[in-house]
Structures are given as C-alpha cells and as structure tokens.
Amino acid sequence: MGRSMSIDYRQNVWGAAATQRTVYRDVELRAHMLRVYNMMASGLALTGLVAWFVANTPALLQLFFTVSMRNHLSPTLLGWVAMLAPLGVGLAFSFGMAQMKASTAQTLFWVYAGLVGISLSTILITYTGVSVARTFFITAASFGSLSLWGYTTRKDLTGFGSFLIMGLFGLVIASLVNLFLESSMMQFIISVLGVLIFAGLTAYDTQKIKMSFFSYDDAETASKKAIIGAFELYLDFINLFLMLIRFLGDRRD
C-alpha cells in the first residue's frame, strides 16, 4: 500500500514537472515568435520609409533612376548598384550566419531592408498611393492568416516546403527568361504562381521557425535564430506584396 502511494506520488510529481516544463517552453516560444515578428515588422517599416523618402525626394530619385514623362523609370548606374546589392547582402547573410555575431547579422538585416526600400520606391512612382496601400493591407491580412496557420497546424509541412522551394527556383528562371521575351501572358502566369508559392512559403517558414526553437539555446544562438526567422518572413511578405501589386495595383496615368 505504502509503495503504491509512493509510486503514485512520484508519477504526480513527474507529471506536474512535465506540465510546468511544457508551459514554460510555450511561454518562451511565444516570446521568441513575437521577437521574430517585431523584427520583421521593423524591417518592413524601414523599407517603406526609405521607399517613400526616395520617391518623394527628387534629388535622391534622380540619383537612382531616370524618370520619363510617363513615369517610366530606368535605373542609373547607382540605381543598378542599389538594386543588385541586396543579392550580395542576402548571400552574405545566408551563408555567413554561422561565423558572424548576432549584432552583425542584425546590422545586415537593416542594410538589406534599406536597400530594398530604394528598389521599391519605383512602386510608389508607378502605382497610385491608394492601390499600394490597399495591396499592402491585403498582403498583411493574407500573410497573417497563413503564418498563423503555419504556427498552429499539426501537419508536417517539410515535404510541402521542399516542393515550394523547387518551384521558387523555377520561378526565378522563368522571370529571367521573360526579361528577354517580354511576354505579358508569361508574366501573368509567373505572377499567379508567385502568389501561390510565397503564400505557401509563409506557412512553411513559420512552422520551420517554430520547430527550430529550443528553450536551452544560449542568448547568442536564440538571437541569431530570431534574425534568420525575421529575414525569411520579411522576404515572404515582400515577394507576396510584389506579386499581388501586379494584379491589384492601379498604374498612374
């Protein structure tokens, strides 16, 4: 009798401890995801501010783009540097993360967001402000819903994500080919596939960020994971917005 009570007591203690650990991990995970989303949102805000400032400052705009009478923009030499620089920063960010400090990675993230803002200033020149705002809020609502689903679903999205990444490579190749073909039909197909691919990647990346979190990570590792997660979700949001603006944007006359 006494032995049975002792076993029951130990089981209750172990069960309570396991429950406490689960609750504690959930709290830490929510804090980690909040940090990821806050950093991503800050990056988007920086991109938007830089885009608005360049688009509304004629002297700056002329440094990066030549604007025709019909609001057609052609990059200057400095404009090409600004447009291609994010590729180099992104590669350094992705492949050099293991060697760099969290503070360096965060600086690169801000630099990347600022450079993208220069490129996206063309959106504010090409499309009306109302349609840009409308597309942004539709993108935000879609992104939030997809990210929430990726966070809460119990379905493993690993295989789905691998398929989407292969589709992304195909999308990049098709976009490069269409630079020479200039086919409006092909551009339409690329935009449709782009919306589907980046919508799926939003859910996949959210789940990947969630599953990569471990409560025993040291502060440096946890910070780097948050920065990587913010960078991935930032890219998903920006690309989803760029695909949607092609359908929802109203061009200036």
Q: What is the pLDDT of residues 81-125, one digit of tens each?
A: 888 888 888 888 778 887 889 999 999 999 999 999 999 999 999
**Per-residue pLDDT at 183 exceeds 90:** no
pLDDT-derived band at 147 (thresholds 50, 70, 90) equals very high
pLDDT at 114: 95
The whole-number average pLDDT for the span 20-42 is 83
The HSE-up count of residue 50 (CA atoms within 13 Å, CB side) is: 19
**Per-residue pLDDT at 160 exceeds 50:** yes
pLDDT at 1: 53
Between 167 and 215, name the one with better pLDDT. Answer: 167
- Residue listed under structure tokens 């030499």: 77
Residue 203 phi/psi, 5-degree rounding, is -65, -45
**Per-residue pLDDT at 63 exceeds 60:** yes
The whole-number average pLDDT for the span 140-155 is 95
pLDDT at 24: 56
pLDDT-derived band at 9 (thresholds 50, 70, 90) equals very low
Kindly state the percentage of the chain with pLDDT values over 70.
88
Full-model pTM = 0.88
pLDDT-derived band at 162 (thresholds 50, 70, 90) equals confident
**Per-residue pLDDT at 5 exceeds 70:** no
The whole-number average pLDDT for the span 156-178 is 89
pLDDT at 17: 45
Q: DSSP letter at 238?
A: H
pLDDT at 181: 80
Confirm if 79 and 65 have CB atoms less than 8 A apart. Answer: yes
Kindly state the percentage of the chain with pLDDT values over 90.
52
pLDDT at 88: 86
pLDDT at 143: 97
Confirm if 213 and 23 have CB atoms less than 8 A apart. Answer: no
Between 14 and 162, name the one with better pLDDT. Answer: 162
Q: Which residues contact 8 (CB under 8 A, 6 or more apart)?
A: none
* Tens digits of residue pLDDT in 113-132: 999 999 999 999 999 999 99
Q: Could you give the CA distance from residue 74 to residue 95 in angstroms, rounded to a whole number?
A: 31
Q: Could you give the CA distance from residue 40 to residue 207 in angstroms, rounded to a whole number?
A: 16
**Per-residue pLDDT at 16 exceeds 50:** no
Q: Exposed, middle or buried by CB within 10 Å (0-12, 13-18, 19+), for 187?
A: middle
pLDDT at 233: 97
157-161 contacts, C-beta under 8 A, 24 or more apart: 157/203, 157/204, 157/207, 157/208, 160/200, 160/204, 161/200, 161/201, 161/204, 161/205, 161/208
